[in-house]
Chains A and B, each alone.
Chain A
Amino acid sequence: MNFNPLPPIKQAYDTAQDSFRIAKRTLKTQHPQIRQRLLQRTTLETQTLREAERVINQNIQAAEGIFVLMLWATFERFLRDYLQHKGVILQQMTPPDLAQAMYRHFHEEVEFWRPEDILDFLKDSLLKQDPQLAGRAKAVYSFRNWIAHGKSAKKSVSPVSPDSAYTALESIVNILLDNP
């Protein structure tokens, strides 16, 4: 992959945020006919205003977690694609049969590497000028795990907003893109 895959996720998040704002303004509209027209054929149409507002508020919070999940998933895919592409050089070894078999094995194994391990060897190589880059990505990963595993009350995590996750991960993506 030779482009930054994160901006479309950010754009989707921004659009979702805008949509929540528009929906909440719709609920506040003083004209029932206009409100009904704006809400028609939505799941909010049949709900009371109070219930509709509660549902929207609940899902604003949920959307933040979902977008951090999406950002991380896209970032992780980018890392694995990047590393698999780097391994193409294995195919140049001799004998060719061994080269092909080793490359296939490498390509498959990359899919199972732990994100923390990938970030650790990036910290020792492309990110060695600033080890905090890997640490910040791990903070996003930790938050992603907390969301993905049901927001356990037993574990406290550093809060990560979609905006800060995007900012932290994009810096690493750009460094990798500068080192094709």
Chain B
Amino acid sequence: MNLIAEPQSMAIAEQKRVYLQRVNQLYQNIQDWLKNDDLVCTQSEVEIAETLGEYVVPTLAIQTVAGEDLAALKPVGADVLLAEGMIEVTGWLDHNYVLYLLAGGPTFLDPAGIKHPYYKGIGEEGWYWINRLNTHALRLNKPSLLQLITWVSDHEF
């Protein structure tokens, strides 16, 4: 038994568990937000590989009731730069990412010890969409989710 490696593997397992919990909570929120909008959400699974290892993650496809594909959400990984997790959102037109950020978002200290945020607009912990045309990050809620779907699909609501 490798006693040194065990705490590390437990930490990785915990990181994946927390990430998947956050992904599943987001999917639940999305299904709640869209339940009265003539949109259909379908969950599935896919295996991904990242530095934390290979594991199965849930995906979420969003379609119109007529069967038009609008957006597909696929988790990319928990061990990502400047975030606690990332999900790729893909439509026919484009793709984009939503990031899980802790309260206040990631920061860095300059040589004088002054703290600077990497991103503007990060309040509470949660999933955020950082779009290049917006100066501030958008917390993922129903209005920003619809904007994101429009961004990747040109589907207007």
Contacts and interface: CB of A to CB of B under 8 A. Distances in A.
Interface of A: 14, 17, 20-21, 24-25, 28, 60, 126-130, 132-133, 136, 139-140, 156-161, 163-165, 167-168, 171, 175, 178-179
Interface in B84-98: 86, 92-95, 97
B72 to A, nearest CB: 13
A129 B111 contact: yes
Given A14-B132, A171-B108, 14 more contacts: A28-B92, A133-B108, A136-B82, A140-B81, A156-B50, A158-B77, A158-B80, A158-B81, A159-B50, A159-B80, A161-B86, A167-B119, A178-B110, A178-B111
A133 B115 CA distance: 12
Contacts of A129: 109-113
Contacts of A60: 94-95
A17 B130 CA distance: 15
Contacts of A163: 97, 130, 132
A95 B81 CA distance: 48
A25 B153 CA distance: 10
A21 B93 contact: yes
Given A25-B93, A126-B111, A171-B108, A160 B50 contact: no
Given A14-B132, A126-B111, A168 B82 contact: yes
Contact of A158 (B51, B54, B132): B51
Contacts of B113: 129
A17 B94 contact: yes
B154 interface: yes
Contacts of B76: 159
A164 B76 CA distance: 14
Given A24-B93, A167-B118, A171-B118, A158 B111 contact: no
| Size category, B interface | 20 to 34
Interface in B47-89: 49-51, 53-54, 76-77, 79-83, 86
Given A129-B111, A130-B109, A133-B108, A161 B97 contact: yes
A100 to B, nearest CB: 31
Contacts of B81: 136, 139-140, 158-161, 164-165, 168
Interface string B113-132: 10010110000000000101
A165 B83 CA distance: 12
B127 to A, nearest CB: 15
A132 B132 CA distance: 24
Given A17-B94, A24-B92, A165-B81, A130 B108 contact: yes
B31 to A, nearest CB: 26
Contacts of A128: 111
Contacts of B86: 159, 161
Given A136-B82, A168-B82, A159 B108 contact: no
Nearest to A176: B111
Contacts of A157: 50-51
6 contacts: A14-B132, A20-B94, A60-B95, A158-B79, A159-B76, A160-B80
Query: Which 10 residue pairs spanning A and B have beta carbons closest together?
Result: A130-B109, A129-B109, A164-B81, A130-B108, A158-B79, A159-B76, A164-B82, A156-B49, A160-B81, A139-B81
